[in-house]
Amino acid sequence: MLSKRIQNLIPSGTIGAQAEVSRRIAAGLPVVNLSLGEPDFPTPAAISQKAIEAIRKGYTHYTPVPGIRPLRELIAKKFLSDNGIAYAPEEIIVGVGTKQILYSAFQVLCETGDEVLLPIPAWSTYAEQAKLAGATVKLIPLQPPFRVTARDIEKHISSATKIIVLNSPSNPTGAMISEGELKKIASLAVRKNIFVISDEIYEKIIYGKKHISIASFGEDIKRLTITVNGFSKAYAMTGWRIGYAGASREIVDAMTALSGQMTFGTCSISQYAALQALRGSDASVRKMRAEFQKRRDFVCRELSKIKSISFAEPEGAFYAFFDITGLLGSAYKTSEEWTRALLESEGVAIVPGEVFFAPGYVRLSFSAEMRELKKGIEKIKHFIYAAKK
């Protein structure tokens, strides 16, 4: 009865992991939840306050499909000042989270049979959305520290290649592409006339490095790039469902036409809240980043004491992604089995690498309070050393 498209859809593994955690909590079982894909901080009060004001003022109706004008203007300003990309407000679209923006981008660009290049490990949503748009996904396997290069990409290009997906900093690896490499990727994309979907949602959560946007390298690459971003991670606004992109007018108009039939734009109240996020000071972002940095340093220090695992230090985002192949064998054959056993015996939730096309790895989110992190890592050590006895 159901369509082939939906039968072929692989449900989100990270959402699945959360559902399992909720089930255990509902059953009264203790859980140290290190699987979260969202900041554990509250949305800054000034942002929430603006939303309340918006409701009081009656800004509770349909808005223009690509977003309210002041928000598109502010996002254009943000792209210029933060990222060095000059988009006109008409080249900005706001949507129901970055997820819907990405979905629309694949829908408006892909024909059946087009190829989408996806460097892995990667967030699985890109692959599922590309498939829903009729495209074939070609995976580009990367080696630690998982920074994609122009050479990796070039080897996988064919006459059917339509899009390269970039995600720097990356979920799940935290890897960032250097400016030099990004320039080479930009030249390659321009030379081969391939679109780039650049998901920059973790741009504000980085540790010492500078975030660079590929579309900032000139008009040729800007024309081919959809620069995707959102409010979920930088402003702890996951539940507000608001994301955005900058792209050519033609692409934005097409995405707007699609949204017009799909969502009629995003929540009016969230858009007024987002205005405040961009107008307000960056203090809350800086505070959150500093706290994430402390946690990252702690997690890396502790994990590096465990000899049987290995990992590259994350340069951004809030995940530690480590190789547990040394722990697999007759008891647990896959990282899926290993994480399930970790949850059952120690009550610690992390996400298996299979979810990110990376069997043998696991993702630990440090979007949890220091106390929980300490407890979680102690339990992981206990699990590993108990298994070795």
Return the residue of 230, 246, 316, 376 that touches ligand PLP, per CB under 6 A: 230
Residue 198 binding ligand PLP, by CB under 6 A: no
User: Of residues 9-68, which lie at the interface with ligand PLP (CB under 6 A)?
Assistant: 37
Size of the site for ligand PLP (CB under 6 A): 13
Instruction: Give the separation between CA 106 and CA 343, rounded to whole angstroms.
Output: 35
Residue 149 in the binding site for ligand PLP (CB under 6 A): no
CA–CA distance, 369 with 373 (Å, rounded to integer): 6
Indicate the residue type of 308: S
For 76, other C-beta atoms within 10 Å of its C-beta total 19
Nearer Cβ to ligand PLP (35/161): 35
Whole-number minimum distance, CB 231 to ligand PLP, in Å? 7
For ligand PLP, which is the closer residue by CB, 327 or 351?
351
Of the ranges 91-99, 254-262, 295-303, 344-352, which one interacts with ligand PLP (CB under 6 A)?
A: 91-99
Nearest-approach distance from CB 37 to ligand PLP, in angstroms: 4
Work out whether 97 is an interface residue with ligand PLP (CB under 6 A): yes
Which residue in the set 18, 149, 168, 171 belongs to the binding site for ligand PLP (CB under 6 A)? 171
Nearer to ligand PLP by C-beta: 195 or 383? 195
Expressed in angstroms, the distance from the first to the final Cα of the chain is 51
Residue 110 and residue 84 in contact, taking contact as beta carbons nearer than 8 Å: no
Report the DSSP pairing between strands 115-120 and 136-141.
parallel
Work out whether 314 is an interface residue with ligand PLP (CB under 6 A).
no
* Contact call for residues 205 and 233 (beta carbons, < 8 A): yes
Cβ distance to ligand PLP smaller for residue 201 or 327: 201
DSSP 22-64: HHHHHTT---EE---SS-SSPPPHHHHHHHHHHHHTT--S---
Q: Residue-wise over 259-277: b if at least 16 C-beta within 10 A, else e?
A: beebeebbbbbbbbbbbbb
Q: Does 227 bind ligand PLP (CB under 6 A)?
A: no
Which spans of this chain sit near ligand PLP (rule: CB under 6 A)? Answer: 37, 97-99, 123, 167, 171, 199, 201, 230, 232, 238, 243
